[in-house]
Chains A and B, each alone.
Chain A
Amino acid sequence: LYAVERVGPVTTVTGHQARADAFRRLLDADLLRYYGIAAAMLGDSVEAQDAVHDAAVSAWRHFTDLRDEARFAQWFDRILVNTCRDRLRARRRRDVVDIGAQLDDALPVSADHASAVVAADAVERALRVLDADHLAVVVLRYQADLTVGAVAERLGVAEGTVKSRLHNALRRMRSAMDDQERER
């Protein structure tokens, strides 16, 4: 897990430059985590960068709407997930992408032994069968390591909905992995 650097409450910010500095500081504090969420949801490192950038643009444009800057991370998570979800929906088709291979090219990843790699590949492919809503729940729950309540808050849905989506997501992934097994 990442060691999340929390930023203390921001004092009253006045003026464009001070506001811009605060925004950069808040964004940089959790940037790696944001990038990880986008990469996991989109399965493409380049598109993940674009998504983080788009989310940052939206966040900056609405920065004055943020009432409590101590909640910037939660707020930005939500913006980022919405951006990724919109991008996934815009694809209109769900390609099975070997995100591990793509990210291996672009990012340094943790090493693992061969059997674990094979198993992880299967899980990654199974992730790609999920639709945007279910994928968002899985990524926030298992990668960002958020509680069900925190996931619900970020997605703007009830906790019951998160649990239901998690259950359905696992069922679909299980079914997809069974299909992969049969094809071998």
Chain B
Amino acid sequence: MSRSPEEVAIRSALERIRPTSVPSELTARLGRIPDEVGLLRPLAVRLALDVAPWALVAGVGIVLAFNPLLLVRAPSTTGSSDAGGWTAAAPGGGFADVGWFGLPWIPFLIAIGIIASTQRVARALRLRDRVPWPKSKAPPMWVRHVAITLPLIVALSAVSDHDPIVYGSVSGPGPEVTDVRSDANWFDEKDQSGWGESFGAPHYVFRLRPGDAFSYLISVRNDWPLPITVLGLSRSDYDVLAARQSAFDYMPTGLGLLRHPTYVSAEQGRVIPFHPIVLAPGDEVTLVVAASAGSCADPAGEADPATPPGVTLWDNRRLAFVYEVAGWRRVGVTYPAVGVTVPTTAGCLPGL
């Protein structure tokens, strides 16, 4: 094989500096190495130890995502709302907060664990014959992946307005109801196809005095392909509006669950205090909504009072739930196809 003059010159120069013997001190130093230096554990063991913490992180994340009740405390109870004595006057909680779980910590945890583990395995397989493994000055690959993944999750969440909680097939009044109608009132309904109108939906009228408690039943369904955990009504959502609305007709004050799912009744003894409940895709649960009549409530009042000009009343059918999906806590709003009316004194709008 012909060689260029440059190659010949390089070979010649390298030949010139090529040592012709190994210094005896080097030979001696090398000979002592096996006696002075310990062997590392086998690669498989080292890799397992390297991956284990990240696999644990991913595992914990997955467990929390699919067993969300591990993270959820039982709702605080008040009054006499023990398991056998749920009443609309003392529903015993049923509210929840999004809080810090509004950020996708658990999906983030899972992403970090899985990406870091796979990166380590891939790196070990790629570099198994390269000793020592080179140190990368760039951020670890999993950091870069997570830096991309997290904004993507948040962005997808932001653009997705499809709440998983939709109204279900069950509704009913509590024992305090005074009138049940199925008249020509219509309701705006938001379903998968958007907003529509529903005629002839049940309409419950509760003629009550201010402060009276009452209840009604609705059901909600999980419309997502992932299991969700219903944690309760959104406390912050209701806190904002409660001061305004409670002075008027009524405000939800808590939730309950049917003691027996097939016995649809809000009578005492048939309802237990609400606790977070997991809904598989397509599953439905019946909830008992406890409410309290506002200060304008009047048993002899109008059932459909006209709203004074310039006043915006909150749609009481609106129910904001805190739910958790794969460890990510969010608020979903549903509008059950049921009308609940507490007649009020004509012209009474205190505090609005």
Contacts and interface: CB of A to CB of B under 8 A. Distances in A.
B99 interface: no
B34 A123 contact: no
Contacts of B7: 142
Contacts, number: 154
A142 B10 contact: yes
8 contacts: A20-B35, A24-B30, A53-B33, A60-B33, A64-B41, A100-B17, A119-B13, A139-B14
Interface of B: 6-7, 9-23, 25-27, 29-31, 33-35, 37-43, 127-132, 134
Contact of A40 (B6, B18, B22, B128): B18
A65 interface: yes
A36 to B, nearest CB: 5
Given A52-B26, A110-B20, A24 B31 contact: yes
B14 A40 contact: yes
Interface residues of A, number: 59
Contacts of B12: 112, 116, 119-120, 123
B6 A120 contact: no
What 8 pairs between A and B have smallest CB-CB spacing? A20-B34, A123-B13, A143-B14, A120-B13, A107-B19, A62-B131, A49-B26, A120-B16
A148 B212 CA distance: 90
A31 B28 CA distance: 12
A49 B129 contact: no
Among B16, B27, B31, B132, the one with the most A-chain Cβ atoms within 10 Å of its Cβ is: B16
A134 to B, nearest CB: 12
A165 interface: no
Contact of B37 (A43, A60, A110): A60
Interface string A21-58: 00110011001100110011001010001001100111
Given A62-B131, A124-B17, A35 B31 contact: no
Contacts of A24: 30-31, 34
A58 B27 contact: no
Interface in A138-184: 138-139, 142-143, 156, 170, 173-174
A53 B130 CA distance: 17
A7 interface: no
Interface string A110-128: 1010001101110110010
Interface in A78-131: 78-79, 82-83, 86, 99-100, 103, 106-110, 112, 116-117, 119-121, 123-124, 127
Nearest to B10: A142
